Structure 1
């Protein structure tokens, strides 16, 4: 159940373009919406944040309590989160920092907001430091203008390919650094840990949503108008099942916080990359000509006297019991 304190902060934040009074007067505050690790329900939590370059940094302080806040466990399970700052709302990838990077970021946070150092002193657990990156991969631009359902499909495919390239680039950087390392100790290399885990999970979850939507809505809708393409849709659905199986194997390797076998992970990633790119190529070859004349966004339905009434949508979103993270 939402706390009255949290709910009042959320309402004041949204009513005043991100400005909140009382103990938060003058503070940088954001609203973080995560998906429940077990419940799957959305939860919104007000959190203080510190800027670091183009990213926002939040700390799982939980006011120095002995356990991590619920929102932190949620983002480990579902890395794509929603962030509200002022009047802006955007999707972000939540990546907990590790090792030296975590220490450097925490020092930066404490210089800006010394209270987090006091929270760390209250507990023996290491406070998580989480970087909120915009969810778009590097270089993402998307189509200049989307006029048709074909354009929309290409936008999604471009997004998925960009995420996959980014995961592969980070994995390759890890192995390149290890190969170039000489001497004792571990190389100063991108770890095959939380950063790659979070980005890969975000990619897998986006891919699953896309394919589920296609199977449930897009393919049946097109098939009604193009019954001669039944073999094409059967093949695409079969490929979805193949990709889903490989995706499941990849996610299983990410079930822990670290990756126990990096070489196996890279091998599984390569297998899924090959299958997925071949599938996307075939889908574009088969479907883009059929979708080019379908306008996007679709025209709104025409209301009639029979369907113009009805109650408004309810908001069943749950809010976290954690106040300041």
Structure 2
């Protein structure tokens, strides 16, 4: 859709609690907000969807054009998205299905909305099917005391360690056909949680501590460099996840083990350097 047309739909959607008139009267659409792959700017797109149990399916049809829509390319890089549906707004993890799973889900979409079959016939591009998994509401409130924040930091690290260990164990027991949408969802959700954790440290915690302890500037520079290294491994992991049905689990397991090693080194360094500073500043 042209940009100005999208803007009109978005404005009407938000003004009327998701109800639309004109050519879309009677339709139920959602608004999907993604983070730009290149510049990190948020972009909102009106989309049709199909419900599939407790998740939603959206299709990168782009009206049957030969080019993937921008929102789809954005979520391949930044899979945490915002969904507006009626009067509700919530965060979700967006996972692109592939292989046989994609075909099965596309058939479900076509059964509910046959027009997508016409879009597929109009292009040689395989229309991507994206699964939107609603994320639980955030319940954590940052503690007032920095010594409590020190304990929370270690608890977050231990939780991420356990999640990564469970994912690695899961990969070790599955063959390529067994790498289901659910496993990919768990992998992508882990990547998103880790990126949010590191982003919060870079934007808030580290600058605060650097002001309080200027003599530790080299420590925080090293920690930020480690964040950059982990981010690169996460990007490589997301790329593999998008085509795991083609490559099989062996390469994916290797990438997970590399991530595990990088994270353990980083967590140990951060706990040795940052936790004592938080306890001393309390």
Aligned to 1:177: 174
**Do structure 1's residue 70 and structure 2's residue 54 form an aligned pair?**
no
CA RMSD of aligned residues (A): 3.5
Q: Would the alpha carbon gap of residues 56 and 192 (structure 1) be closer, same or farther in structure 2, given more than 3 Å must change? A: closer
- After TM superposition, the structure 1 = structure 2 runs for residues 118-197 of structure 1, keeping only pairs within 5 Å, are 118-136=118-136, 142-143=139-140, 148=144, 150=146, 162=159, 165-178=162-175, 187-190=177-180, 195=185
Distance 1:147 1:197 in 2: 28
Which structure 1 residue ranges, 5 or more long, are not aligned? 179-185, 293-325
Distance 2:160 2:44 in 1: 26
| One of 195, 199, 211 as aligned partner of 1:209 | 199
Q: Would the alpha carbon gap of residues 280 and 29 (structure 1) be closer, same or farther in structure 2, given more than 3 Å must change? A: farther
| One of 247, 258, 270 as aligned partner of 2:243 | 258
Higher relative contact order (CA 8 A, sep 6+): 1
Deviation at 1:265, TM superposition (A): 0.5
Contact 1:33 1:82 in 2 (8 A): yes
TM-score relative to the length of structure 1: 0.69
Specify the structure having the higher radius of gyration (Cα): 1
Which structure 2 residue ranges, 5 or more long, are not aligned? none
TM-score relative to the length of structure 2: 0.79
Distance 1:44 1:289 in 2: 42
More helix by share: 2
Three-state SS of the structure 1 residue aligned to 2:243 is coil
Aligned to 1:241: 225
Distance 1:31 1:152 in 2: 35
Deviation at 1:203, TM superposition (A): 4.0
**Do structure 1's residue 272 and structure 2's residue 262 form an aligned pair?**
yes
Q: Deviations over 1:115-153 (max 9, x none)?
A: 2122222222111110111244xxx8744x655264677
Question: How many residue pairs are counted as aligned between the two chains?
Answer: 275
